[in-house]
Amino acid sequence: MSGIATLGDSIEDYEVYEFLGKGGFAEVYRARSRLSGLQVAIKMVDRAQERTCPDLKRRVQQEVQIHWRLKHPSILELYNYFENRRYVYLVLEYCAGGTLQGYLDARGETLSEPEARHLLRQIVDGLLYLHSHSIMHRDLSPANLLLTKDLHVKIGDFGLATRLSHPTERHTTLCGTPNYISPEVASRGSHGLEADVWSVGVLLYLLLVGRPPGLSGATSSKRLSQDANTLLAGLLQKDPRQRLPLNEVLRQPFFLRGSTKPLRPLSEKVKPEMPFNTHRLRPVRLRARHTILSIQAGGQACIEFIRNGTVAEVCVVSGDGRQVASFRPRGRGQPPGDASPPLPPDVRWLPWDGLNERLQGRYASLARFVGLVRQKTPKVMLYTWHAACMLMESGDFEASFYAGGKVVQTAEEVRVTDILGQTVTYDGISKFPSGEHWDLFCESKRYCQALEAAVESAAATAPGFDPFPAVFGRKPREPRNGMASRTYSRRQDTATFQSIFKDESSTNNNPSIAYAPRITQSIQ
């Protein structure tokens, strides 16, 4: 079975590391592509189990057919799949944060309502996307929700998912995880998309109360706000006809009136938050109304506070973010200039993790500023047949299409600008961008991430050498645009990308020909 050649079409193309988890018929391992350096998770389905489960082959085929087409920030991505005599392999996006179940177990306490709101919004966004394509997940549980290293949630494990022929189609199969199965599924009754809504209610109850409600009828808690209890009552209606429709969930007061808060990292599971650094960031100076923020030629980050027309206080952080100094220029301040005031010879440096509350605020302001600069600093630049692409130091990605239009993806949103200059912002809603530009954007982003991993791997063998920013390709003299030339130019992109990692003698005759049609299968 042909797949994405830049990642690998056989298990020999991957370095397989530690065991991550196990399901009914499969085991999952962390791995790294030998061709691109991209870190992935590989789900290995043991084909020997077909003897005890004759339906296994059909179920795996259905899982792949459904999962392969899905592209959404809240959906775990399936990169590739292949098989040999012993196993069927699914190459998946790697989520360093593990499962939501593991996070909750390690945390040992319930989430606050702002945290639960932040998490549930992402889950509902992903589920709205699935339902908009008539896909019923049927197994939403904390064990099947994955967390990225930044603790964003992604829906995974489509082993029990099914595609409906129409949104009102009903099923009678008993499947799912105990405690998360809706009453109609548990009673082997007719059920549809509403069954997933029940699971959302169970998840919310678990996050806020610490245990699933089961089928006892418990849908509220005195510990929770009225808005939370109202939402739970709507989600956990036993009669699916009375259950809150999924497309109305994010319109409820619980989401409209409350604030959100990202999940708190686990100190025992996640490394302590590291200090920021200005590595590879160019000098920049930005003046606001009462402050001047800058990154200096030596790498220091600096914030100057202006009071009554003079720089009254300066806070400087070393380039590695570990040392902090604060002083008054010339004792009483000085007029703002084109450069930051020089450090006094007797300035006292303090460790970044031992600051008082005032300096912690200064440090946080500089960390946000450096983060913004990272969002605008290219790390990998790639010229494809269609677009000039940039993977930023922050991980943000943008593609500027030669024919007009631009797509920018950050951790919070996606901004799509059409050829007329009109911009639409998607912050996780179900009508996520689709179409030709979005498909090309996702493809180019994956290329840039693989290039980044490959270059970092090569640079690790040469200490002291920094290869970034790295530029690949050049803008074509005659960019190819439009659907008519789309397949050809995609093959060109793939073949060009392959040549970076493989000698022509080691490749197939033209593996990109088999690859291109599969990409066009993405949901429009």
How would you classify the pairing of strands 162-163 and 135-136? antiparallel
Whether 396 sits among the annotated catalytic residues: the reply is no
What does the alpha-carbon distance between residue 376 and residue 364 come to, in Å, rounded to a whole number?
A: 19
What does the alpha-carbon distance between residue 194 and residue 244 come to, in Å, rounded to a whole number?
A: 8
Active-site residue among 9, 13, 125, 139?
Answer: 139
CA angle 148, 151, 157 (to 5 degrees): 50
Which of 17, 79, 19, 38 shows the shortest CA–CA distance to 457? Answer: 38
ω into 469 cis (within 30 of 0): yes
- Going from the C-alpha of 194 to that of each of 127, 243, 253, the distances in angstroms are 11, 7, 21
Tell me how far the alpha carbon of residue 169 is from its chain's centroid: 32
Phi and psi at residue 67, to the nearest 5°: -70, -35
H or E element in which residue 27 lies: strand 26-33
For the chain, the maximum distance between any two Cα atoms, rounded to a whole number of angstroms, is 83
What does the alpha-carbon distance between residue 340 and residue 304 come to, in Å, rounded to a whole number?
A: 8
What does the alpha-carbon distance between residue 301 and residue 225 come to, in Å, rounded to a whole number?
A: 42
302 with 314: CB under 8 angstroms? yes
Angle between helices 194-209 and 226-235 (to 10 degrees): 150
Which of 364, 358, 373 shows the shortest CA–CA distance to 317? Answer: 364
Tokens 């460790």 locate to 351
DSSP state of 422: -
Is residue 269 a known part of a binding site? no
What does the alpha-carbon distance between residue 505 and residue 490 come to, in Å, rounded to a whole number?
A: 21
Would you please indicate which residues are annotated as catalytic (active-site) residues?
A: 139
Output the known binding site.
43
Output the known binding site for ATP.
43
